[in-house]
Structure 1
Amino acid sequence: EGFGGGVTLPGFNDHRIVMSMAVAGLACDSPIMIEDAESVNKSWPEFFDVYKSCGGAANVIQHW
């Protein structure tokens, strides 16, 4: 049984936290929103492309 999801989580501008939460979000029943998701560009700019190719769904919205 999955987790509820349907929440917005802070990414703390930390690429490691964002990637970990994205993977954990795969087990959620409802989508999650991760703030500062673009921070993955620090270490793995293609992370969300690979994530989507593995079955994950992601829309990265940048806030300026």
Structure 2
Amino acid sequence: MDAERVIAEFERGAGQKVVVRRTQFRGKEYLDLRQFFQGDDGQWLPTKKGVSLPWETRLALIEALQKEEP
């Protein structure tokens, strides 16, 4: 796997978005949900606002979300 793979992006207003990524750090894989902002040069940059969960927890997260009422 590459060090990072974008799974989804969600707009969050002008110059902001949330990016869902599959990342790797120190040989372990993670599901990373992070807020990004658009810099003055137009490049998207990550913020400290976000969470990284072990990749193995993704199925439990999906199951919990599917159980939630719409």
Normalization by structure 1: what TM-score? 0.27
Bigger Rg over Cα: 2
Greater share of helix residues, 1 or 2?
1
Greater share of strand residues, 1 or 2?
2
Higher RCO (CA 8 Å, separation ≥ 6 residues): 1
Normalization by structure 2: what TM-score? 0.26
